[in-house]
Structure 1
Amino acid sequence: MKASPQPASALPARPKEASLISVEAPPPEATRRTATLLAYAGRNDNALRIAVVILYVIVVLLGATTSSIGIPTLRQDPAHPLGLQIGASSPIRSDEYNAFSAIVLSIMATGGAPTTSVLAAPAGLAHRYPSGGFFETFVYFDSTLLRTATFLPDTMVFAAHWWLPALLLFLFLPKWFSQVGSARRWGWMAAFLIALSPAASWWTMMPIQLIAYTIAGSSLILSAHKRFAEGQRAVPALQCLVAGILIAGLPSFYIPWSLVLGLPILTATVGWIIAFRGRWRPKLLSVGSAGLVALVFGLGTLWENRAGISALLDTVYPGSRRSSGAAQPLAMLFGAPALGPMQDMTPVGINESELSTAFTITFVWAALLIVFIRNLGSPRDNVVILTVGTFAVLWLTWCTVNFGERGSSIPLLNYVQPIRAAQVCGILASVLVCLLLDRLPKKVGWRAPTVAAACCALVTAYAASLLQQSYLPFMTRPLIFAAAFTVGVCVFVTTKYASKVWPIVLTSAVAVVPIIGANPLIFGLGDLRDSETATYLRNEGRKAAASNGVWASDFSPFDTVMTANGVPALSGLQRSGPNSEAWKNLDPEAKYTNAWNRGGGFIFFEWTVGQPLDIGTLSYTADVTMVRVDPCVLKDRWPSLQGISSSRSLDAPCLVPERTLAWAGREFFVYKFR
């Protein structure tokens, strides 16, 4: 008689309980209790997923986000802002409100590509938006969906786009945990540690976006593998198609963090499928199909964005910059639990975003768990833990050890500045520690939790003390002790009572404390849509787009409102690199190439009537190109220039006063040309 095949849902054999406590085979009644608890946990998990979806729908309907677009410089009258905002906007997140959100609003206004500066090369790869290419339309689906603003309220579309990565994180990370053999509850804890980390908060959820799509794609590959093993064809083929498209977007947006965060999850997923004790056909079908789709759509997207990539690589800044590993301050590495004071004070010698990290203290926790869980099993049974752990330690080493000049020649690693690795490697450690916690026995003694709690508390206290001596001198000693004590308690109860849910709830709730007031809660789009100035510019933007005309401004926040309302412009965003042919109109002899050959930045104008054209940079930043020019000279060199905005009254023979507009509490003069 032919042996029955192995069930497709079987997982790699789990090792016996850790050697802290010997565990005998459970009696039948214990098995029944376990089954009851699993059913209860499943119901709770379903309830949590439903709650996440409901919460997402609510914030979308309310148009609520944590964006800083309500900052006073983006208000028509800061004393009388439009809409409702709770909490203050974060000035340090200028990239968010002047670039990321402005580009999103611009796509919504135009129904197509955003109106970044016409002097700039396309920045679709850097900001995940399509410009008409077939492959990028699917790979950057999140930006493609922004075009639904033509028949849905802008506020809802903006909020839906804003929260989509978080939605995918909470829906797919717990599922991914269960698919690789761990309990879903640890996936929930990992999701909360990621979403509530200071790095995610002070970087406006960028780390979430850079890992969520890869997690969703990886989970779909695992689902496809299971269905292929069950003999299904159509559904897993569709899952592989969607997974491949999601994964194809991995090398986009902020590529250094994509490498740090997305690549380990994808590698661990593929490793788990290969190590699975089952037939090879489902493995090859799932990994091969998804990989082929990812390869085709990924290469297709890179080809469609070749102009922007080429422009960026050829820039003076950041250009083809390569980095080497270097030691970062311990205060920054392990100080995340004590960063609460940043909500009320500005750090010394560094800004809030640069100082913020994920919960890197989980590295210490994970290392101690490995010591106490002496028998994890064979490498095949722990391929996910080994893969995530290897990547996590690799990136921790990159930001704690000086590699010297040779480090800049290490492929992939040299694309990541050590400070960027330091800010987010704790996300990998958070995933790792949750995978390890799942391997603890149901009953744990006092030794492991006590040692783990004491070590994590001491490291946190030391890092917090260093923060007080360097970046946050106004931090009080009671806050240092409170941060260390809280970390110790969370580590202790979560390790001691690993089979319970309430320690996870406690740890997730405590993780909110350092970031609860870091960002505002804003309902709607503020003055960027409904103000008189925004309405006027939106109408002018449509006229300019219809006649291939452009505008220019001499005030950066005014550039933002123009971009957000779809006004084609010379001033504004140059995020990928320059359009060299376009710059020749202003600089035909390439005299100022070093000033305008820059990416990831902004183009500012200054009106200098009667003065010669001059192009330079600002002394305090490397990503701003400053063009000082007479508006009449600019009109001669750029005939399609239709209008300008000036922060002061101008007297030039080519200008015709149009009207005045209010923005950022100031009066601006709008001119057309004779």
Structure 2
Amino acid sequence: MPTTATFSSRVSRSKEKILTWICLNDNALKVAVVLAYLVVVASGATTSSIGISVLREDSSHPLGLQLGESSPIRADEYNAFSPIVLSIMATGGAPTTSVLAAPADLVHRYSSGGFFESIVFFDSTLLHSASFLPDAMVFAAHWWLPALLLFLFLPKWFVQVGAGGRWGWLAAMLIVLSPAASWWTMMPIQLIAYTVAGSTLLLSAFQRFTRQERLIPTLQSIASGILIAGMPSFYIPWSLVLGLPILLATVAWIFAVRANWKPKILALGSAGLVAMVFAGGVLWENRAGIAALLESVYPGSRRSAGAAQSFGMLFGAPALGALQEMTPVGSNESELSTAFTITFVWAAFLLVGLRKFGRPRDNVVVLVLLGFGLTWLAWCTINLGDQSAAIPLLNYIQPARAAQVCGITGAVLVCLLLSRLPARPGWRLPVVSAVVCGLITAYAASLLQQSQLPVITNTFIALVAIAVAVAVFCVTRFPHKIWPMLLVSALAAVPVINANPLLFGMGDLRVSATAGYLRDQGKTARATDGVWVSDSPAFDTVMLANGVPSLSGLQRSGPDKTQWAKLDPDQAHANEWNRGGGFIYFQWLPGQPISFGNNGSDSAMVGADPCDLKLRIPNLQGIASTHPLNDPCLRADRVLKWSDQDIFTYKFS
């Protein structure tokens, strides 16, 4: 007869085998993610919309291979984000945004040569460090890097804070497959991935310091600090909404866990010191761009107050598959897209249903994420009045922007709570959670049907509600099974499967005859401190992508007032051009005085005589025009083709 000790030993060995299988399976998933990353990099595949027809020489004969249609609403991506990346690759340094603009290193995560930003914005530094690779591969490697880091580090973070790694995989899938991530071209992923990676390394450093190791945890702390130092960059409102909860939950967990204070101080102190030094260094190196942004009419002077957003927008993410069929009424795909905010409702039922929640110190990660989630939800569901625009940090976050991505925090929160469910949670909690989540989704979808998305049918609403209910029920009822997670991932992919194209290479922006001509002109202009200018926004984009210094084009942080003084010496029209986050457009007005205007938000417009412009900007070397020019100072150079029209280029005689 086996003794009790023998039986316990067998149980222990069985548990060990199960844990080993889970670890190996988790590692196998990570290997699969890395292999998938290598495949897309090797093939130069991205979901970028730079293959859109306006960025082609001849849209009826596009170059390269693209599956699916580009997304016209993602103008920031194909006119700014991606061309900036291509410009860095072309110049081997800073991108050739407009010389009238202040540096935009901080808001686009690239380096102009500063020591601190070259390290903190390592993802952009790699663009020219990997110049030995084909451009298409470098572009794809940069494109998918945030997603790679999210899938590699978020499951590990879940394990470190006491949840199962499988729930980290589910959370990562809910983030990546959210409509907000798809219709904002992966911006939310980039804004959380580096903070997740830094937080995971911080926890790893703490654990190694606990084991009295020194070298490896010190290196991990340094890497963690560098990653965390980059959090207040790119799109700062979303950086706060997405990155801050993860970081503070990580710090709170280290403080709360039962352990000696020495490893806590070593991990938090070293990583915190590195983060402060590098963040301070980056801010100092970018002081001119920050000042330009804060002093701009738009968006620097904008402050937001808490305000209620529509219920349909908040909870309608599962029904946004209709965005693949139509442009929403009175809005657009990006503005209407959200993450899965319904996860907060799901989490609320789990909080009530978990009978043994435990002490606060054992639930500090959940409490921190819950606190942030409630804060963001309050900011976008309650009219807090104009006085709330005085609340620091929050007043930089538009309620609509908080509404779009707060569901990502909800996805992390609900997965942490699901990890606490017993193997047999019963039927009441799964059924009630599923029914309520399904009904709320149906109501939200119905509101969208009556407003922005009239294409939605009643049958579609019913199917979406049932899908949400089934997903919530299956995961809640069978929390220790893998198939419910696969089901949820498959259902989450349906609303976004065709949101973006699959593009191999970089389209006409690099391999066309026009692109080749501009690359040569860009090298000459950079070597002689020359600049170009055009009256075509689409041509501005191809100039940027090929490293041509220009007057027209991007003004992302704000204006360089010294440069604008050459056009407007008395700054009498500063209200027209003191704008950030946008573009500078030119119009040719031969024989007329220079004029200024704006589009009411982020774009400045300049009307000018080319010869007068040359007098004001002596290093002006080239003019590009959508129509022939006969000014006496101009000498015709070449006629190019771009965006299905002739572009006439001129040099100065």
- TM > 0.5 fold call: yes
| 1:654 matches 2:637 | no
629, 650, 653: which one pairs with 1:671? 650
Corresponding residue number in structure 1 for 2:533: 552
Distance 1:93 1:28 in 2: 59
How far apart, CA to CA, are the structure 2 residues paired with 1:234 and 1:290?
14
Residue 28 of structure 1: CA displacement? 6.4
Give 2:465's match in structure 1, choosing from 484, 498, 503.
484
Q: Which residue of 1 aligns with 2:428?
A: 447
Residue 370 of structure 2: which of 379, 382, 389 is its match?
389
Note the alpha carbon deviations across 1:31-80, whole angstroms, 9 max, x for none.
55443332222221111000000000000000000000000000111111
Where does residue 634 of structure 1 map in the other structure? 613
Superposition map of 1:151-550 within 5 A? 151-550=132-531
Report if the CA contact (8 A) 1:129-1:140 is conserved: yes
- Give the Cα separation in 2 of the matches to 1:478 and 1:36: 47
The equivalences for 1:125-140 within 5 A come to: 125-140=106-121
Q: Unmatched 5+ residue regions in structure 2?
A: 1-6
* Cα distance in structure 2, aligned partners of 1:114 and 1:102: 9
Deviations 1:206-241 (A, max 9, x none): 000000000000000000001111111011000000
Shift of 1:611: 1.3
Match of 2:572 in 1: 591
Counterpart of 1:6 in structure 2 is none
Alpha-carbon distance, 1:29 to partner: 5.6
User: Distance between the aligned counterparts of 2:337 and 2:96, measured in 1?
Assistant: 31
Shift of 1:509: 1.1
Shift of 1:272: 0.5
Matched residues in 1 for 2:234 and 2:577: separation? 22
What is the match of residue 3 of structure 2? none
1:151 shift after superposition: 1.7
**Which residue of the partner structure matches residue 113 of structure 1?**
94
2:463 alignment partner, SS class: helix
The aligned length equals 647
CA distance in 1, matches of 2:33, 2:301: 41
Q: Deviation digits for residues 158-179 of structure 1, max 9, x if unmatched?
A: 0000000000000000000000
More displaced stretch, 313-322 vs 96-105: 313-322
Q: In structure 2, give the amino acid aligned to 1:545.
A: R
What is the CA–CA distance in structure 2 between the aligned matches of 1:303 and 1:533, rounded to whole Å?
38
Cα offset, 1:149, TM superposition:
4.6
CA contact (8 A) 1:601 1:624 kept: yes
TM-score relative to the length of structure 2: 0.98
Q: Secondary structure at 1:363's aligned position in 2? A: helix
Indicate the SS of the match to 2:381: coil
Q: Deviations over 1:511-532 (max 9, x none)?
A: 0000000000000011000100
Q: Distance in 2 between matches of 1:55 and 1:137?
A: 28
> What is the CA distance between 1:606 and its match in structure 2?
0.5
8 Å CA contact retained: 2:521, 2:548: yes
Tell me the secondary structure at the aligned position of residue 66 of structure 2: strand
Give the whole-Å Cα distance in 2 for the aligned partners of 1:363 and 1:31.
37
AA in 1 matched with 2:542: V
- In the alignment, what sits opposite 1:645? 624
For residues 412 and 560 of structure 1, what CA distance do their matches in structure 2 show?
33
SS at match of 1:296: helix
Deviation digits for residues 494-541 of structure 1, max 9, x if unmatched? 000001111111101110000000000000011000100000000000
Q: What letter matches 1:572 in structure 2?
A: G
Q: Does 1:92 align with 2:94?
A: no
Letter in 1 for 2:391: I
Aligned sequence identity (%): 65
Which stretches in structure 1 are left out of the alignment for 5+ residues?
1-25
Task: Show CA shifts across 1:411-434 (max 9, x none).
Answer: 111110000000000000000000
Q: Secondary structure at the match of 1:371?
A: helix
Q: Is the CA contact 2:131–2:138 (under 8 Å) kept in the aligned structure 1?
A: no
Q: State the superposition RMSD in angstroms.
A: 1.0
Aligned to 1:60: 41
Of 579, 604, 616, the match for 2:597: 616
Letter in 2 for 1:41: I
The separation in 1 between residues aligned to 2:432 and 2:184, in whole angstroms, is 33
In the aligned structure 2, how far is the partner of 1:561 from the partner of 1:262?
33
Contact 1:334 1:460 in 2 (8 A): yes
In the alignment, what sits opposite 2:24? 43
SS of the residue corresponding to residue 425 of structure 2 reads coil
Residue 639 of structure 1: SS of its match in structure 2? coil
Q: Residue 117 of structure 1: SS of its match in structure 2?
A: coil
> Are 1:49 and 1:171, in contact at CA under 8 Å, matched by a contact in 2?
yes
Structure 2 partner of 1:572: 553
Q: Which residue of 1 aligns with 2:58?
A: 77
Given that residues 148 and 157 in structure 1 are in contact (C-alpha distance below 8 angstroms), is that contact kept between their aligned partners in structure 2?
Answer: no
Between the aligned partners of 1:43 and 1:501, the Cα distance in structure 2 is 15
SS of equivalent to 1:657 = strand
- Distance (Å, rounded) in 2 between the aligned partners of 1:404 and 1:158: 45
Flag the 1:27–1:466 CA change in 2: closer, same or farther, 3 A. Answer: farther
